Amino acid sequence: MEDNNMRVIFSGGGTGGHIYPALALIQRLQERQLADDILYVGTQRGLESRIVPQKQIAFKAIELQGFKRSLSLDNVKTVELFLKSVHTAKKMIRDFKPDVVVGTGGYVSSAVLYAAARLHIPTIINEQNSVAGVTNRFLGHFVDRISIAFPDVAAQFPKQKVVLTGNPRAQQVANMQPSDRLSDYHLTADQPTLLIFGGSRGAEKINQAFIEAVPALNQKPYQVLFVSGRVHFDKIKAALADQKVNANISVQPYINDMPQILPEVAVILGRAGATSLSEITALGIPSILVPSPYVTNDHQTKNAKSLVNQQAAKMITEAELNGQTLVKTADDMMTDAALRQSMAANAKKLGVPDAADRFIEVMQALISD
């Protein structure tokens, strides 16, 4: 295979956790001039229909929906749509003639990767979590290789197909350096900073705990950058209207390029999604993880425990989280530089700073076979 003649179809969507690993791989392929042509297949309803075209990547949509977990007539429609979308995906694949087809999760990838496997095109999926998603568990029976980010998930797939690459997203952030972005939020570089962030849409329980914690946080010898999520910001402003908020606390609705600010953060308090954990381990940032209890198979708790077990993070369950537990756990870490340093080193050991390159090696080997 010539170094520059890889034609690749990517499919993944619904949430950023399925889209950003694919975009990280595409960026790395382009940086290394290994991609001759790329096509991204998603749905019109998923975030991918907006995010992918913005990156000047060719995008096509197929109609598909996920299975309901309970018995439902909707599942009959799901099967019909799946069979129809497999037919559509086969036509796209025949027209595009990919060397390899890559799936990064979300139900849209089920039809695309299944179609590619049936056409004997090399296939590889990436499972970012410590518990395999429904789509990837299904595809595990058909694809050639299964790339994983957490060793714990290997047992859920055929052993001979599994390769540990890490989450490709990690490589995008691994070499980021501090860039004085804290000044954009009226904070300084000479104090350790706690970032409280419940994800792009925010997390109501984390936000409530922060509001309860503000009187105590006002008195701390460290800074707090709190990001509420845009949909919650007006409610947060109203709740804080009668409270004093000192200069060591900055309240923001959203930060557009969150990874840019991470190298300046001493500790992160947030959810335990796969993308977030790949970023903080790549950079070696200690964390206080509050797993979302609203995700499939409670996979965020299992993600978090993989860091806690290596002394890279502390965990507070959502049921335990309030202003008091937030402040106590934050104090334990923010006032103990030696503990932070130790946890940072442990986090970095779990990071895979060359994850995208590892994944590309597997792609190349598949094509060469």
What is the token pair recorded at 145?
């290789």
Residue 195 lies in a domain: yes
Enumerate residues 6+ apart whose C-beta is below 8 A from 266: 192, 193, 194, 222, 285, 286, 333, 334, 340
Pairwise CA distance, residues 316 & 305, whole Å:
11
Residue 58 pairs in a beta bridge with 39
What is the token pair recorded at 86?
């497999």
Residue 317 is assigned to a ligand binding site: no
What is the token pair recorded at 329?
């756990």
Pairwise CA distance, residues 362 & 349, whole Å:
22
Q: Read off the DSSP letter of residue 106.
A: S
| pLDDT 10s digits, 76-101 | 566 778 888 999 999 999 999 999 99
* Per-residue pLDDT at 2: 45
- The pLDDT of 39-47, averaged and rounded, is 92
Q: Which CATH number do you get for residue 242?
A: 3.40.50.2000
pLDDT of 231 higher than 50: yes
**Of the candidates 195, 194, 216, which has an alpha carbon nearest to the alpha carbon of residue 325?**
216
pLDDT band at 357 (very low <50, low <70, confident <90, very high): very high
* Percent of all residues in the chain with a pLDDT value above 90, rounded to a whole number: 81
Residue 282 lies in a domain: yes
- The pLDDT of 164-189, averaged and rounded, is 92
Distances (CA, A) of 48 to 41, 43, 104, 148, 277: 9, 7, 12, 22, 21
Residue 34 lies in a domain: yes
Pairwise CA distance, residues 48 & 323, whole Å:
36
Residue 1 lies in a domain: no
> Do residues 48 and 141 make contact, with C-beta atoms less than 8 angstroms apart?
no
* Per-residue pLDDT at 4: 57
Q: Check whether residue 46 and residue 26 sit in a common domain.
A: yes
Q: Check whether residue 128 and residue 18 sit in a common domain.
A: yes
Residue 136 is assigned to a ligand binding site: no
- Count up the domains in the chain and report the number: 2
Q: Check whether residue 364 and residue 274 sit in a common domain.
A: no
Q: Which of 13-17, 128-132, 146-150, 273-277 has the lowest mean pLDDT?
A: 13-17
Residue 176 lies in a domain: no
Instruction: Supply the mean pLDDT for the chain.
Output: 92
Residue 44 lies in a domain: yes
**Of the candidates 276, 324, 326, which has an alpha carbon nearest to the alpha carbon of residue 304?**
276
Q: Check whether residue 119 and residue 259 sit in a common domain.
A: no
Q: How many CA atoms lie within 13 A of 127 on its CB side?
A: 31
Q: Check whether residue 57 and residue 101 sit in a common domain.
A: yes
Q: Check whether residue 37 and residue 164 sit in a common domain.
A: yes
Q: Check whether residue 162 and residue 279 sit in a common domain.
A: no
Q: Check whether residue 248 and residue 345 sit in a common domain.
A: yes
Which domain, by its residues, includes 151?
Answer: 6-171+353-368
* Per-residue pLDDT at 141: 96
Q: Tokens 């990436």 identify what position? A: 126
Pairwise CA distance, residues 39 & 269, whole Å:
36
Q: Check whether residue 216 and residue 316 sit in a common domain.
A: yes
pLDDT of 69 higher than 80: no
Residue 277 lies in a domain: yes
Q: Check whether residue 216 and residue 87 sit in a common domain.
A: no
* Percent of all residues in the chain with a pLDDT value above 70, rounded to a whole number: 95
- The pLDDT of 123-145, averaged and rounded, is 95
Angle formed at CA 334 by CA 333 and CA 338, multiple of 5 degrees: 65
**Which pTM does this prediction carry?**
0.87
Cβ neighbours around 309 below 10 Å, total: 10
pLDDT of 322 higher than 60: yes
Enumerate residues 6+ apart whose C-beta is below 8 A from 259: 172, 173, 176, 279
Residue 121 is assigned to a ligand binding site: no
SS3 labels along 68-102: CCCCCCHHHHHHHHHHHHHHHHHHHHHHHCCCEEE
Residue 17 is assigned to a ligand binding site: yes
Residue 256 lies in a domain: yes
Q: Check whether residue 345 and residue 359 sit in a common domain.
A: no
pLDDT of 321 higher than 90: yes
Q: Check whether residue 288 and residue 334 sit in a common domain.
A: yes
Residue 255 is assigned to a ligand binding site: yes
Beta sheet of 249-252, edge-to-edge order = 249-252, 223-227, 193-197, 267-270, 287-289, 313-315
Top pLDDT among 164 and 69 is at 164
Q: Read off the DSSP letter of residue 15.
A: S
